[in-house]
């Protein structure tokens, strides 16, 4: 069985140019000092992924001592069914905690897009936010 060294090296991620340096010259024995056996060959490789940047942790917002008299924004990113889910949360607050004011807003763009206008409104007028986003 003939082994195609070029294919094996390419599967291992090694350049076939390595073959030029490792192939024995015509007439030389296969395991001479100039051509070491596979056991004697050592390769040094580098991970092409590199090192990831360090992770910067951002702490969670502090908890409110109570929701009485607070304003909670119910924010949807437009995913199907999120508006109905947030409406049910608003109904629960009306029945169980009538002093809590809920405000429904539809966020501009997708979940990943910024909505600076909405964020400024919530920062100025709200105390908490519940965001419903799809998967």
Cα(112)–Cα(36) distance, rounded to whole angstroms?
56
pLDDT at 2: 66
pLDDT at 52: 80
pLDDT at 7: 72
Split at pLDDT 50, 70, 90, the class of 40 is confident
Residue 125 has pLDDT above 90, yes or no: yes
pTM over 0.85? The answer is: no
In a domain, 13, yes or no: yes
Residues 76 and 126 in one domain: yes
Residue 112 has pLDDT above 70, yes or no: yes
In a domain, 106, yes or no: yes
Average pLDDT over residues 37-44: 75
Residue 72 has pLDDT above 70, yes or no: yes
Greater confidence (16 vs 82) lies with 82
Residue 28 lies in domain: 5-40
Give percent of the chain above pLDDT 70: 73
Reported for 25-31, long-range contacts at CB under 8 A and 24+ positions apart, including other chains, are: none
Residue 53 has pLDDT above 80, yes or no: yes
**Residues 125 and 118 sit within 8 Å (Cβ to Cβ):** no
In a domain, 60, yes or no: no
Indicate the number of domains in the chain: 2
Residues 33 and 84 in one domain: no
Q: Report the candidate in 18, 74, 16 with the shortest Cα–Cα distance to residue 41.
A: 18
């Amino acid at each position: 069985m003939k082994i195609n060294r070029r294919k094996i090296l390419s599967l291992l991620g090694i350049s076939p140019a390595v073959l030029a340096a490792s192939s024995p010259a015509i007439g030389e024995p296969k395991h001479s000092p100039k051509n070491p056996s596979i056991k004697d060959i050592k390769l040094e490789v580098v991970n092409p992924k590199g090192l990831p940047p360090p992770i910067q942790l951002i702490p969670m917002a502090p908890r409110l001592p109570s929701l009485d008299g607070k304003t909670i924004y119910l924010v949807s990113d437009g995913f199907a069914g999120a508006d109905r889910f947030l409406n049910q949360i608003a109904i629960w607050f009306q029945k169980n905690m009538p002093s809590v004011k809920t405000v429904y807003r539809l966020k501009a763009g997708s979940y990943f897009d910024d909505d600076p206008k909405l964020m400024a409104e919530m920062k100025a007028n709200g105390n908490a936010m519940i965001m419903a986003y799809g998967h």
